[in-house]
Amino acid sequence: MQDARYKMHDVALISSPVDPAYRIQNLAPGIQQPALCHVINSAVTISLVPEARGGPFVFWDGLADGCERAAELGFDAVEVFPRSAGELEARLLKQLLTQQRLKLAALGTGAGWVAHKLRLTDPDAAIRARARDYVAAIVDFAGGFGAPAIIGSMQGRVESGVAREQALAWLREALDDLGPRAQMHGVPLLLEPLNRYETNLINTVADGLALLETLQTKNVKLLCDLFHMNIEEVSVAGALREAGGNVGHVHFADSNRRAVGFGHTDMAPIVQALRDIGYAGYLAAEILPLPDSLTAARQTALAFKKFFPTD
């Protein structure tokens, strides 16, 4: 008998013992069945940053509570947003993940900006150095769990009096330093394009790809957030196809940054695009906890099962 707390990864896929790819069954309407594809897993967010309370994270009441709820709802992993690496307890996190049969999908660095006002493109060289050290510590912590770190809001923005090319040069310098650091742990570094209301630096997948082409390191991938993409991209599915193998992580959110199904995004072509590019990673719910955390998480679980069905 299957455990009631089943994981939502594609257990409906029939695997071959000699082939890492999988065959799909029972896909949602509008999604074509390719001959082979890779496993996509589910994750839900836990914020440990009081200054960001009410923001786009599902669970807010500590690691133990978030991990327990994630497991009860069948998520495969959690994406955690700490105040800093130094305020996380590796032993406790490992214990909770083991106990709840979860993985760490990724670790966010957003508190570097929200709580500490650090940016990798700050005009002040001392602040840029502190920002890089802050991210490096999270890269190392996450890497110890086989997970990547996310650079989103810490990319900063082009400030008045600073040329765009200068800001990009500072960001490029940071990524070329931090990308190889992540590679030492066997994981990529994730760069997240954000919508125009949050940054004026990297807004679109095309912006991200253009920057990646200029890096010396090849260990930086894009985090494609469906909420930001809904604002900035002409076609979300088209942008995912353009990114192809450079997609390293996906934030699973609807048009209004609520749980998928609570907005108006047509998800079928997006799911098809992920299948077509052979994406094999996490879909993480970085969403507003509306109408409340548990309802948002449950809706995400339902949406994931609809588009990535299980037996």
Please pick, among 79, 232, 233, 286, the residue that the annotation labels catalytic: 286
User: Are 254 and 219 a contacting pair, CB within 8 Å?
Assistant: no
> Is 286 an active-site residue?
yes
User: Are 262 and 299 a contacting pair, CB within 8 Å?
Assistant: yes
Nearest to 141 by CA among 181, 172, 192: 181
Nearest to 299 by CA among 250, 263, 271: 263
Please pick, among 87, 159, 192, 232, the residue that the annotation labels catalytic: 192
Asked if the peptide bond before residue 291 counts as cis, ω within 30 degrees of 0, the response is yes
> Is 72 an active-site residue?
no
**Distance between CA atoms of residues 139 and 136, nearest Å:** 5
* CA-CA-CA-CA torsion sign (62, 66, 68, 69): positive
Structure token digits, residue 235:
């076609």
Start-to-end C-alpha separation, the chain:
12
Catalytic annotation, residues: 192, 286
